[in-house]
Structure 1
Amino acid sequence: MCGIAGIIDLTGAPPPADLLIRMADVQRHRGPDGEGFAALSLDPHGSLFLTRGQMANRQSPIGNRQWTGAFAHRRLAILDLTEAAAQPMPNDDGSLWLVYNGEVYNYPELRAELEALGHRFRSSGDTEVVLKAYNAWGTECFSRFNGMWGIAIWDARRGTLVLSRDRFGVKPLHYHFDGARLVFASEIKAILEAPWVPREPDEAVVADYLVHKLVNASHHTFFKGILAVPPGHCLTLKAQAGARPALSRWWTLEDHLEKPPATDAEAVARFRQLFADAVRIRLRSDVPVGTALSGGTDSSSIVCVARPHLTPANQKTFSACYEGFEEDEKRWVDLVVAATGVESHVVHPTVEGLREHQKHLVWHQEEPYGTTSVYAQHEVFALARRCGVPVTLDGQGADEALAGYHYFFPTHLAGLLLSGRLGAWWREAAAFARNHHKSLPYALLSTGAGLLSRRAMYRLAARLYPELDVSWVSPRLRRLARSLGPPQARLPGDRLTRRLHDIFALQGLPALLRYEDRNAMAHSVESRLPFMDWRLVAYLFSLPAHLKIRRGTTKWLLRQAMAGIVPQPILDRQDKIGFATPESAWFRAAAEGFLGQAIERAIAAKNDWWDGSRLARLWAAYRAGRLAAMRPIWRVANLMLWRETFFSGAP
């Protein structure tokens, strides 16, 4: 894992050496173990590796020759800890240069393929495999990779910059193009170091956030003109005057769907095999690997499946727990620890810690974030680093692909009803009511919620909970927001599968992946996600709904596959905690502190993003005990803190 950055200048002006140094320095947390720079030339043999000292020297070659661009790299050493794996990395003749953030887990298998083609290697990690795979197969190499990445390749033979992002956007890659220069980096803050990049909010993104609660729902960021390379895409730029970046999609989920297994037993066996292999290859590392353990089915499954590959002394888990919190999962964590013999480490996040770290969190996250769970996750990664573990496994992606959230029940029930399966609909509704302590009329009415359009659901929620009405947002921003609510992905399959894909690709998981990356990298920790293995994802989205929700139980397939591997009481859990914090209590405490102060500044701010008087009434409603107001209040406070962190003054 690393931090990468670079500039391509179509005018031929030399890239500012001090800028490249600043772009590397502002991402030092992503790579504390080393650094390197490269000056890039159109001459296939003319590019140079440069040290910081050479970059800073006024007599440096970067300032007295005509260069097309430059790369900067900060290294977190995970595979091949020697200098042989240092970046930027050239190929044998210097015609290709690579900077790379991420991991390609199937690198040993790819290396064997490349060696059979005659390629020879100087290093033992995955970086050189990525470079030589591009040399052998061009951009088609990306479809051979199983991993997570943001990649930049300077191909001097073609005079082209190639940027590539992994299939699901697990790793970040951002860029800005002004017609003459393209600047890219792992993190937005590095791009903002370039003086020609405007510091201006993208008000359409701000509007979607305030009105629809959307973050990371497209390739647009909260910063105008700074875009994300979309997941599963390449960006190419020819280094010639008048050229423009070209985006191309190299992978789609639709093209990799499978024929579903004929029987339940086959479906369970196939899942177990794919998941076990996803965990196995994510344990490939030259440094210690641990696991984030919440006590839920996802993280518990990872810990238990990893157990045969690690000795108990070498398997550490990291958990966030809260004494006195009714949703604390410590007893479930303890159950997994007792069953596996792993070395457990626990942190206890507090509202005082949230107050202390909130500016730090906003700076690292770079864009507004949704809940205080982001802070708890931040503390878990800090704990892992303190324990000397720079790589962790985590369970992101399971809920979205396996229907783990309870709000998927209405969608599933509606799908059964619309397909005419009345018997199955009745049985599932009754099981849902029984398992989750709801009345049968409640379960049946849930079907109605699943039948409503997205727009109708928003209107109904606003009627039931007046605090969710967004009339406090300025009319101008409401017009900028998406007119029909959140975007929808398109995928073949039943109603539940399509809804899952919406959450997986557009409305939920992309934000969680951003939180995960920035929190882990804030502490120089690489987080690996077995449930995001592309083979497993493609398989799960090929399956019908009844393999995910059955008899009123979510994640049916995972529970069946992990029987005899994960402690049965965990598999029998019907509650869904998520990565919860004592948020309501924290908000009440913070209302007298940083949260309240941010809201008061927002109310007083002279801006056309919201109506201060209406916002004041919303704040008063929350202070009076209307808890439904908590979410919009958090959005405004978080946006205010973000604005104050990255821009001068209030909006």
Structure 2
Amino acid sequence: MCGIAGIFNVKGEAVSVNTVQRMTDSIKHRGPDSEGIWTDSNVGFGHRRLAIIDLSPHGHQPMQNDSGELIITYNGEVYNFMNLRIELEALGYKFHSNTDTEVILKSYELWGKECVHKFNGMFAFAIWNKRTKEIFIARDRYGIKPLYYYYKNGLFAFASEIKALLKHPEINVKVCIPALNEYFSFQNVFSELTLFENIKILPAASALSIRSDDVNSFSVEQYWDYNFTNDHTISEEEYIEELERLFEQAVNRQLISDVEIGSYLSGGMDSGSVTSIAAKNFRNLKTFTCGFDLSSASGLELGFDERLKAEFLSNIYKTEHYEIVLKAGDMERVMSELIWHLEDLRIGQSYPNFYVARLASKFVKVILSGSGGDELFAGYPWRYYRAVVNDDSEHYIEKYYRYWQRLIPDSYKPRFFSPEIYPDILSYQCKDVFRGVLKNKLKKEITPEEYVNHSLYFEAKTFLHGILVVEDKLSMAHSLETRVPFLDNDLVDFAMKVPVTHKLKNLEEVIRINENVPGPKTERFFEQNSDGKNILRKALAKYVPESYTSGLKQGFSAPDASWFKGESNDYIKDILFDKRARIYDYIQPEMAKDLMNEHFSGKTNRRLLIWSLLCFEWWNKIFDPA
């Protein structure tokens, strides 16, 4: 795991070595072990190394192939690299290191751009081909590793983080209004845009290429996509047996490392099962949990601290367990540093992730995460059930879009955004962005099961992607590599075939109520419950106690709804009720304050909106201080 950056002057101007150096230096936290700079006329690559596999200088990057014709700068881990190496060696290729970097480089040498189909892992890399004068950039299937780029007036620049791009003298900060519209609609950005105008994120499972002296050769192509189906040719018992095998294989694949590995351990079955398998391979495996002081919490938030459950699992697996306990006020202390690292604002409260990653980084270089299981195996049934029976595809879009407007619905936007930017807001319809995610999936005749699969597809493409981007930024802020065993290619391919009826146990009842009973009879299914991930619960029962596989779904969140009304209230008002706050260059203060006051009075839970307003205010202070 590392940090990469580069410049390609398509029109032929020489690259500034100093600029590549500044870009690379800005992401030193991603790779404190070593650095490398390579330039050749109009191309320059930078690399910061976090040494995980083959700690010797043989893993130094940027790396060239034997002929010097190909140069790579790479971030990630390809877990099947040893199998690919054996295949390449059988074809006569010689290796000078034990790194997956060299395997990727020689895979490209043999298979060209099709090499991406060979890789099982997480990656973002750029390869320069001296012979064809072409740069080729690719990102892994799921978007575990981020990659951003800027392309304007013949300047192409890329990096693992946006802050590196901002070190180029021709790249300036300006708010991208369409991205701002998406962010305050979805608390995410579903398109390839970012809050930085002209800076985009390369979509997951995509490859980009551009040739020298041809500004029109720029292209981005998707090489893979999710495809959730319903394969009923296999019995549930066979599905469970195969799921157990693939899950163990996935975790064991991701244990390859020349440095110590640890594991996050919450009170849930996903991280618990990952830890169970890892603990069999490593004596005294180190595990890490983030808990919360609930002395000022209320309501549902009283159940947010999962330390006791994690401690119980740690005792079973005999791990060396560490915890951090957050209290009201800890968010305030870290906001500036957090937003500098996060930069690309997405999803909800993430400061607990920042703190627990910092804790883990004091002991290990690599951490295992339980992310991905919910999105693959339908862990959020209260979402899917809102749009499971529909008149047609457009009806489904309407209902699901209504749910995913997490912050500001369209009807509020004329009063929320400032008059100066509202015309640009109005010209960029977020509903079209939402529909665009599903553009190749919808048809006239769709069953309830297919609608659920469309929801799984949508959330894997958007919500999971947002989680992965945030998780990468906040772990790499502390030079910590996060691995995601649930996103093993074989396991994902299998999960997408499992019928919805094996994932959701209440689906048939919800369909029956929706179709036959008038009135709000389905409301109880819209609340968090023990439905969802049904087949995964059965498969993971061999790794964690029954109470963990049958319990209610519990997200990883601090009791911010309570804290925002209590101990953190003065901090929020000092920043967001200040008439000089930068957010009011884009947002109408009266509307913003009215919505926040709804939360403070207890009328409506607006914790997600308050968090997003805080993030955007700090974003402006840090990246656009003028």
- If the length of structure 1 is used for normalisation, what is the TM-score? 0.84
Corresponding position of 2:399: 453
Contact 2:108 2:115 in 1 (8 A): yes
- Is 1:631 matched up with 2:608? yes
Corresponding position of 1:565: 543
- Is 1:140 matched up with 2:114? yes
Q: CA deviation at 1:98?
A: 0.5
Corresponding position of 1:509: 464
Q: Distance in 2 between matches of 1:534 and 1:286?
A: 23
Corresponding position of 1:56: none
Corresponding position of 1:641: 618
Q: Distance in 1 between matches of 2:536 and 2:608?
A: 32
CA spacing shift, 1:122–1:456, aligned 2, 3 Å = closer
Question: 1:30-179 counterparts in 2 under 5 A?
Answer: 30-40=30-40, 67-179=41-153
Corresponding position of 2:319: 342
Corresponding position of 1:400: 375
Q: Distance in 1 between matches of 2:177 and 2:313?
A: 46
Corresponding position of 1:17: 17
Question: 1:427-466 counterparts in 2 under 5 A?
Answer: 453-455=399-401, 457=403
Q: CA deviation at 1:631?
A: 2.8
Corresponding position of 1:50: none
The structure 2 residue matched to 1:545, chosen from 487, 493, 500, is 500
Question: Match for 1:276: what amino acid?
Answer: E
CA spacing shift, 1:642–1:249, aligned 2, 3 Å = same
Residue-by-residue CA offset, 1:575-594 (whole Å, 9 max, x unaligned) = 22211212123323464443
Contact 2:230 2:499 in 1 (8 A): no
Residue-by-residue CA offset, 1:62-107 (whole Å, 9 max, x unaligned) = xxxxx02111100000000000011000000100001000000001
Q: Distance in 1 between matches of 2:15 and 2:568?
A: 47
Contact 1:37 1:73 in 2 (8 A): yes
Q: CA deviation at 1:301?
A: 1.2
Residue-by-residue CA offset, 1:401-425 (whole Å, 9 max, x unaligned) = 111124235248648x99xxxxxxx
CA spacing shift, 1:163–1:310, aligned 2, 3 Å = same
SS in structure 2 of the partner of residue 628 of structure 1 = coil
Question: Match for 1:189: what amino acid?
Answer: K
Q: Distance in 2 between matches of 1:482 and 1:228?
A: 20
Q: Distance in 2 between matches of 1:590 and 1:14?
A: 55
Residue-by-residue CA offset, 1:120-160 (whole Å, 9 max, x unaligned) = 11111211111111111111111000001111001112111
CA spacing shift, 1:379–1:462, aligned 2, 3 Å = closer
Q: CA deviation at 1:303?
A: 0.8
Contact 1:291 1:393 in 2 (8 A): yes
Contact 1:587 1:595 in 2 (8 A): yes
Contact 2:178 2:425 in 1 (8 A): no
The structure 1 residue matched to 2:281, chosen from 309, 323, 328, is 309
Corresponding position of 2:366: 391
Q: Distance in 2 between matches of 1:407 and 1:399?
A: 12
Question: 1:312-327 counterparts in 2 under 5 A?
Answer: 313=284, 315-324=285-294, 325-327=302-304
Q: CA deviation at 1:602?
A: 6.0
The structure 2 residue matched to 1:554, chosen from 514, 532, 550, is 532
Q: Distance in 2 between matches of 1:122 and 1:461?
A: 52
SS in structure 1 of the partner of residue 578 of structure 2 = helix
Q: CA deviation at 1:627?
A: 3.6
Q: Distance in 2 between matches of 1:631 and 1:459?
A: 11
Q: Which runs of 5+ in 1 are unaligned?
A: 41-66, 419-448
Q: Distance in 1 between matches of 2:307 and 2:369?
A: 17
Residue-by-residue CA offset, 1:347-382 (whole Å, 9 max, x unaligned) = 11233221111000000000224333x111111111
Contact 1:517 1:527 in 2 (8 A): yes
The structure 2 residue matched to 1:376, chosen from 341, 349, 352, is 352
Q: CA deviation at 1:213?
A: 2.4
What is the percentage of aligned positions where both structures have the same residue? 30
Judge which range, 589-598 or 31-40, deviates more: 589-598
The structure 1 residue matched to 2:200, chosen from 227, 230, 233, is 227
Residue-by-residue CA offset, 1:31-58 (whole Å, 9 max, x unaligned) = 0000011113xxxxxxxxxxxxxxxxxx
Q: CA deviation at 1:229?
A: 1.3
What RMSD, in angstroms, separates the aligned Cα atoms of the two structures? 2.7
Corresponding position of 2:245: 273
- If the length of structure 2 is used for normalisation, what is the TM-score? 0.87
Question: Match for 1:397: what amino acid?
Answer: G
The number of aligned residues is: 583
Q: Distance in 1 between matches of 2:261 and 2:577?
A: 44
Corresponding position of 1:245: 218
